[in-house]
Amino acid sequence: MSQANSMAVERSIAAEHRTVSAARDAINGKVKGIRALLPFLGPAFIASIAYIDPGNFATNIQSGARFGYKMLWVIVLANLMAMLLQNMSAKLGIATGKSLPEVCRDNMPKWLTITMWVVSELAAMATDLAEFLGATLALNLLAGIPMLYATIITGIVTYLILMLEKYGFRPLEKFIAAFAVLIGLCYLVETVLSKPNLSLVAYHSVVPWLGNNESIILAVGVIGATVMPHAIYLHSSLTQGRIIPRNDMEKIKIQKFSTKEILIAMTLAGFVNLAMMYMAASVFNTSGHSQIADITSAYHTLTPLLGSAAASVFLISLLASGVSSSVVGTMAGQVIMQGFVGFTIPLWIRRLVTMLPTVIIVAMGVDPTRTLVISQVVLSIVLPFPVIALIYFTQKKDLMGVLTNKRITTLTSTLFAILILGLNLWLIFQTFFG
């Protein structure tokens, strides 16, 4: 290692120690308010990126263009699910010092562990496909870079960002959090430019509506794009050894700080998802462009309707989303493999392997947005596996101790799991027999 690298690592270690020290001060009540929360910010922002990945762009834009404001309630419901499930996942890591895949491996039969690993890897591949395609498409439309070259550039950039991990958890957390804030700012601008009907936004955010088969399929896709299997696995890993509790009281306090961070990060993600859909409703649905069903058409239609600035901001948010979520997806893939089967592969190999499906699809000229929507449906089908495992383990007193789920938490999360499973069974039935 060069002297410059050694110094950078030493500075990162020192910064990490300062973060842990500041967290201890907050736990002990020496600091209050926002200063007490700052050392705990990071894990939820990394997880939240999975909830605003390019798959969300595809499903939200298609839903808003086709059905206007009527499906906003699906995003609100999915975001509430996400808040609860991510909080349970973070709590598992704090209580056990292990990730959800590790807990599964320690407490499940081997055949079930292997099955969950295979299914989870498929989910990770579907996730990475969506993220890579989104960033590739953004580069292609924003800078005119050919799709194949844009795919390679995306792979190199995400690998370089992942290399920040060797400097500790803080640099990567800050980098990903900055991406999340950038995406949020982009959609704040889009909200101002698109001038949505705020009364309709408020009404349809809380009043459920189910139309035809097409709207239900899109609803399943929206939930699949919002509540992400790999984020549930990853969050438990991000909290398992970040601030290590020394007793039960510290576990409770760390969990309370974690819950506050999750509320902040997931509220930001929820706003972005709502903004994606109500922008499409305001710009496309109300102007007679209800058949807009892909990102490329959305970009080209935005330019004459709102101007080149709005279209460019849209692509910047898509690029930030694709690059950052691809980083998070690769991190989750490592956690899944290490947790379920106990081994890892070099980061560059995983990065290369997960790029291949995207390279093949781009080379074959397959419609990127259609692929994005299908990938989100695949994720929604896989989603029940980690959700059921998470509910099962977080209600076990001998495993969770003082952080065991309250009865209302287990009941609410079980209802969410039943809803997800029901929607997925309906989707499978429609696909094969409808």
CA 74 – CA 49 distance, rounded (Å):
19
The per-residue pLDDT for 80 is 92
Nearest to 83 by CA among 323, 262, 277: 262
Which whole number is the average pLDDT over 272-297? 81
Q: What is the mean pLDDT of the chain?
A: 83
CA 227 – CA 239 distance, rounded (Å):
19
The per-residue pLDDT for 2 is 56
- Residue 205's pLDDT band (cuts 50, 70, 90): very high
| 138-184 pLDDT, tens digit each | 888 888 888 888 888 888 888 888 887 777 777 888 888 888 889 88
CA 37 – CA 22 distance, rounded (Å):
9
CA 430 – CA 423 distance, rounded (Å):
10
- The pair phi, psi for residue 385, each rounded to 5°, is -60, -55
Phi-psi region of 168 (alpha: psi -120 to 50; beta: other; left: phi over 0): left
- Residue 332's pLDDT band (cuts 50, 70, 90): confident
The per-residue pLDDT for 198 is 92
| 337-369 pLDDT, tens digit each | 888 988 777 777 777 777 777 777 777 776 666
Helix (H) or strand (E) segment spanning residue 319: helix 308-341
| 41-83 pLDDT, tens digit each | 889 999 998 888 877 777 888 888 889 899 999 999 989 999 9
